[in-house]
Structure formats: structure tokens, C-alpha cells
């Protein structure tokens, strides 16, 4: 019987002549590619990151305290400014009494604030005012305020493009004294009315009495006369000021719907919280027409104080 021996050159299954041989898979060689950076893409259903934490209760309390101190300081400054204007108004009216340039008994004040880094509360108060010549149309304070509110509304309605009306001018200005030229970042914070008509009498009567011989003998002068002011601020504060040169030291003549002292508790009982609806009919009419002027100006200027 003939047998076949495996040749020395054979490799078993790797030999093409071996019964169990099969071709090996061909490996395809590809050129190497440059390394590319793949950005991480979060899943579409991943929730958005949480918002940053809000101010802490301590931060809120501090901001509230600072805001209360800012407004209390502004109320005090506006009150002092109004008293000073009322006193100066009386002196000027007394000096002009009986002349062609005689002053009427009423005046209007406009209050603005502008940031001032050197001031304790970081703002400066600016005041413009208007004094009126003595005339029948300027003798009735409620009617005069109503007329000013109508004039302001008319000026606002006729504002042309690019020439927005401002109560301090330069065109159709509502003031004729005080801080007429304001910084560009000044904002409106309130309005006030000053009058020389008081519970002691009307201005024309009192000014005439000062010139009688009996008044001279008693050494009476315009510095003995009282004055009155009414203020409305953009935070809702109403202030009634009775300037009385002969009042006791403990009486400041100030009634306010909100405290002038920032340290006074917010829950204290304030008998003047509804100040604008208190008093006689004439006083309530002053508040009503002053509020109309105030809302007209505040709505047009559309700005509050920069705290």
C-alpha cells in the first residue's frame, strides 16, 4: 500500500494543498486620519442649570433699610427746602408789595435728585420754583394748580418728535427760579405748593397790616408771619408744613404720611397716613389739584429716584 508523506515545506492547514485549508480574510489598510475634537453634546432631555441663588434674607433686610434711609433723608431735605423757599417768598413779596412787580401769595416747587458720590446718601436734591405776579388768576391756589396741570398736559400732548417737553424748559418752562439747569441723570421726585395765606389771614391783609402805625409800634415785620407748604413725592409721601416763627421749640409744624425718621418702626400708628383727605374743603382741594399736577408730571417723565 502506497502512502504519502508530508513534505518538509508544507504548513498543515496553512498549506493550500491541505484538505482543511481556507483563505484568510483580507485586511484593508486605510490611511491614518488627523485627530478631530468632538464636543460633548448633552442629551436633549437634560434640565437647564438652576438659576443663581437670590438675595439672602439678610441682604433683603439691608436693602430695605438703605431704601428707607434714602427716602427719609429726601423727605427731610424737601421739607427744609420748602420752608426756606416759603420764608424767602414772604420776604420778597413784602419788598415788592404795592409795586407793579408785586408778588402773589402762592408759589410752586419741583424737586429732582441726581446721583452725587460725595453726599452722605449718594444723591443731591435740586429744586426749581415758580413765583407769580399778583393777579386775580394767581390769587386762588387750587385754581392756580388746576391751571398748571392743564398747561402741563397741553405741553405734553404737543411734544414733537425729538423735542420732548420738560417742565424746566428750555421751552415753555414751568419755573422761573432755582435749579433750572439740571444734570442729565436727574430724575423727578416730587412737587410742592407754597402759600402765604394761613390761618392768621390772607397775605394781602397781613401785608397791609404790617404797614400800619400800630404794627410798627409793636415791632412786627414779615419775619413774624406764618407760611404753609404742601408736598407730594413719588413714593406716595404727603407732607404738610406749617411754618410758624413763634411756635414752641418742640413744635416743628410738620405732618407727614410717611416717617421722616428712618429708625421709626414701620408699624407705628401714624395719624397723618391719610393726610390728603384731612382738613377743611379748601385744604382738600389744594391736595386734589396738587395731586393732579404731580401725576401728570410723574407720568410724563416716567422716572423714579436713583437710589
Q: Model confidence over 1-41: pLDDT tens digits?
A: 444 444 444 445 555 555 555 555 555 555 555 555 656 56
pLDDT at position 184: 87
196 neighbors 105 (Cβ within 8 angstroms) = yes
234 neighbors 188 (Cβ within 8 angstroms) = yes
pTM recorded for the entire structure: 0.78
Spatial distance between the Cα atoms of 299 and 288, rounded to a whole number of angstroms: 16
Instruction: Find which of 66-70, 146-150, 173-177 is predicted with most confidence, using mean pLDDT.
Output: 146-150
pLDDT per residue as tens digits for the range 183-193: 989 999 999 99
DSSP state at residue 208: H
CA 109 centroid distance within chain: 16
User: Which grid cell sits at 224?
Assistant: 413774624
Residue 175 or residue 265, greater confidence: 175
pLDDT category of residue 58 using cuts at 50, 70 and 90? confident
pLDDT at position 216: 57
CA 19 centroid distance within chain: 101
CA 304 centroid distance within chain: 2
The answer to whether residue 68 scores a pLDDT higher than 50 is: yes
Only one residue has cell 409793636, namely: 218
SS3 state at 40: coil
pLDDT category of residue 303 using cuts at 50, 70 and 90? very low
pLDDT per residue as tens digits for the range 111-167: 999 999 999 889 999 999 999 999 998 999 999 999 999 999 999 988 665 678 899
Q: Please provide the distance, in angstroms rounded to a whole number, between the alpha carbons at the two ends of the chain.
A: 118
Only one residue has cell 491614518, namely: 32
Spatial distance between the Cα atoms of 295 and 96, rounded to a whole number of angstroms: 33
Phi, psi of 107 (to 5 degrees): -145, 160
pLDDT per residue as tens digits for the range 75-97: 999 999 999 999 999 999 999 99
pLDDT at position 307: 41
pLDDT at position 261: 87
pLDDT at position 197: 95
Spatial distance between the Cα atoms of 261 and 199, rounded to a whole number of angstroms: 28
In percent, the amount of the chain with pLDDT more than 70 equals: 79
Spatial neighbors of 203 by CB under 8 A, at least 6 apart, are 93, 105, 195, 196, 197
Domain boundaries, the chain: 57-301
Phi, psi of 113 (to 5 degrees): -125, 150
Q: Find the mean pLDDT for residues 97-109.
A: 95
The answer to whether residue 107 scores a pLDDT higher than 50 is: yes
Only one residue has cell 508530508, namely: 6
Amino acid at each position: 500500500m502506497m502512502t504519502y508523506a508530508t513534505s518538509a515545506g508544507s504548513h498543515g492547514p496553512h498549506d493550500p494543498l491541505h484538505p482543511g485549508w481556507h483563505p484568510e480574510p483580507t485586511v484593508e489598510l486605510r490611511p491614518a486620519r488627523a485627530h478631530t475634537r468632538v464636543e460633548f453634546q448633552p442629551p436633549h432631555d437634560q434640565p437647564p442649570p438652576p438659576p443663581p441663588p437670590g438675595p439672602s434674607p439678610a441682604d433683603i433686610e439691608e436693602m430695605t433699610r438703605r431704601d428707607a434711609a434714602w427716602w427719609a433723608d429726601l423727605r427731610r431735605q424737601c421739607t427744609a427746602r420748602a420752608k426756606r423757599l416759603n420764608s424767602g417768598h414772604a420776604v420778597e413779596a413784602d419788598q415788592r408789595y404795592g409795586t407793579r412787580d408785586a408778588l402773589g401769595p402762592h408759589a410752586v416747587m419741583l424737586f429732582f435728585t441726581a446721583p452725587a458720590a460725595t453726599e452722605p446718601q449718594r444723591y443731591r436734591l435740586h429744586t426749581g420754583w415758580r413765583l407769580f405776579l399778583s393777579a386775580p388768576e394767581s390769587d386762588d391756589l387750587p385754581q392756580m394748580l388746576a391751571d398748571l396741570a392743564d398747561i402741563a398736559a397741553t405741553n405734553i400732548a404737543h411734544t414733537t418728535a425729538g423735542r420732548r417737553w420738560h417742565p424746566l424748559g428750555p421751552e415753555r418752562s414751568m419755573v422761573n427760579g432755582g435749579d433750572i439747569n439740571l444734570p442729565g441723570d436727574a430724575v423727578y421726585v416730587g412737587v410742592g405748593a407754597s402759600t402765604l395765606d394761613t390761618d392768621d389771614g390772607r397775605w394781602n391783609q397781613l401785608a397791609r397790616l404790617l404797614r400800619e402805625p400800630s404794627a410798627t409800634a409793636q415791632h412786627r415785620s414779615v419775619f413774624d408771619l406764618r407760611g404753609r407748604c404742601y408736598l407730594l413725592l413719588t413714593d406716595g409721601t404727603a407732607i404738610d408744613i406749617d411754618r410758624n416763627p413763634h411756635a414752641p421749640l418742640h413744635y416743628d409744624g410738620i405732618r407727614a404720611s410717611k416717617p421722616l425718621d428712618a429708625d421709626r418702626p414701620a408699624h407705628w400708628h401714624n395719624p397723618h397716613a391719610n393726610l390728603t383727605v384731612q382738613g377743611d374743603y379748601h385744604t382738600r382741594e389744594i391736595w386734589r389739584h396738587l395731586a393732579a399736577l404731580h401725576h401728570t408730571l410723574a407720568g410724563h417723565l416716567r422716572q423714579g429716584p436713583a437710589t
